[in-house]
């Protein structure tokens, strides 16, 4: 709760959660926080996600009845009649291409269960499929200094369609914090240990798909560009904020101070041309070959 309070007190107005985070615990914490804030929470948008509770996680599991069940559970967890924004949580690609998917989501809006819907995706092509639908409000996609491909087509298409872009994994699982080196050890239960090669889920979610040693070396070069008075993480977040078409960035935080530091990135001046050029060079020379053709 302290992290949420620190973030909101620092000016954060968008909270992103999901029904599978802590098996609903995250939603309950957010719901309790919003309720305790009362009128002070009127400017907050709470976005949740649904679909990853499906077992097996296959396209056939995405039905109107399932959507109703998932959203009813989230409404109870969050303590609200109508969810602000519900995103399909990296569904099977086939779900995004079905007409019925969007008809069902429109039905949820009509029933008052949700106010708006969006999608969280893995690939550029999935994002473009969703953006083409008339009532999609948002697309959540990995975007950071080490994952630039969405700049080419996704952000322009979203801007043209009036679709919001939610940038996730903005610090490449912490690589862009500048705090890790070749000797850093992660807990066995941390995806940065067990999913480095996509053993459990899409490898693009772990270090943004960049091989760890490659990312550490590239992050050192990024860190050298950090302006006085800022952190490397703030530099990386500011780069995303500056991209035309980005609506919101969702960095995680484990402590109140991390939350406050993340929020301070919005107060940094836009990055200068020399820094932007250097970041692009680092990507082209070190990162592009590992990620650009994959997602």
The CB-side HSE value for 49 (13 A sphere, CA atoms) comes to 24
Given a cut of 90, whether residue 41 has pLDDT beyond it is: no
Distance from C-alpha of 130 to C-alpha of 118, rounded to nearest angstrom: 8
List residues with catalytic annotation. 21
pLDDT in tens, 76-92: 999 999 999 999 999 99
Q: In the chain, what are the domains?
A: 2-172+232-267 (3.20.20.100)
The per-residue pLDDT for range 111-130, each reduced to its tens digit, is 999 999 999 999 999 999 99
**H/E element holding 183?**
none
**The predicted structure's pLDDT at residue 29:** 96
- Tell how strand 117-120 and strand 164-168 pair up: unpaired
pLDDT in tens, 130-189: 999 999 999 999 999 999 999 999 999 999 999 999 999 999 999 999 899 999 999 999
pLDDT over 90 percentage in the chain:
96
Alpha helices in 62-123 (DSSP H): 64-78, 93-96, 99-110
pLDDT category at 215 given cuts 50, 70, 90 is very high
Token pair listed for 168: 């996730």
Q: Supply the pLDDT for residue 26.
A: 97
Query: What is the per-residue pLDDT for 40?
Result: 65
Which pTM does this prediction carry? Answer: 0.95
pLDDT at 42: 77
% of the chain beyond a pLDDT of 70? 99
Nearest Cα neighbor of 259 from 268, 272, 271, 250 is 250
Give the confidence band of 15 by pLDDT, cuts at 50, 70, 90: very high
30 pLDDT above the threshold of 80: yes
In 10 A of CB 195, how many CB atoms? Answer: 17
* pLDDT at residue 128, rounded to an integer: 98
Pull the structure tokens for residue 18.
């999901």
Alpha carbons within 13 A on the beta-carbon side of 63: 6
Q: What is the pLDDT of residue 39?
A: 64
Q: Are 183 and 189 in contact (CB under 8 A)?
A: no
d(CA 49, CA 19): 6
Mean pLDDT, the chain, integer: 96
């Amino acid at each position: 709760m302290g992290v949420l309070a620190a973030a909101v007190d620092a000016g954060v107005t968008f909270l992103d959660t999901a029904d599978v985070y802590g098996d609903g615990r995250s939603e309950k914490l957010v719901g309790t926080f919003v309720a305790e804030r009362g009128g002070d929470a009127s400017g907050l948008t709470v976005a949740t996600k649904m679909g990853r509770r499906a077992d097996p996680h296959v396209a056939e599991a995405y039905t109107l009845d399932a959507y109703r069940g998932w959203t009813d559970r989230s409404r109870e967890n969050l303590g609200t009649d109508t969810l602000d924004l519900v995103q399909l949580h990296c569904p099977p690609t086939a779900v995004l291409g079905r007409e019925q998917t969007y008809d069902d989501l429109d039905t949820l809006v009509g029933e008052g269960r949700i106010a708006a819907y969006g999608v969280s995706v893995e690939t550029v092509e999935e994002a473009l499929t969703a953006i083409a639908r008339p009532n999609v409000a948002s697309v959540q996609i990995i975007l950071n200094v080490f994952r630039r491909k969405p700049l080419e087509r996704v952000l322009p298409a979203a801007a043209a369609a009036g679709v919001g872009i939610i940038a996730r994994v903005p610090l490449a699982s912490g690589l862009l914090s500048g705090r890790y080196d070749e000797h850093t050890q992660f807990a066995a239960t941390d995806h940065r240990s067990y999913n480095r090669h996509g053993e459990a889920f899409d490898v693009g979610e772990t270090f943004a798909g960049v091989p760890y040693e490659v990312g550490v070396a590239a992050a050192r070069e990024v860190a050298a560009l950090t302006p006085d008075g800022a952190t490397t993480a703030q530099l990386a977040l500011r780069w995303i904020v500056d991209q035309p078409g980005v609506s919101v960035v969702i960095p995680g935080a484990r402590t109140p101070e991390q939350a406050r530091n993340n929020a301070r990135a919005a107060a940094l001046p836009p990055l200068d041309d020399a820094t932007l050029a250097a970041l692009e060079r680092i990507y082209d020379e070190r990162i592009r070959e590992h990620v650009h053709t994959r997602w």
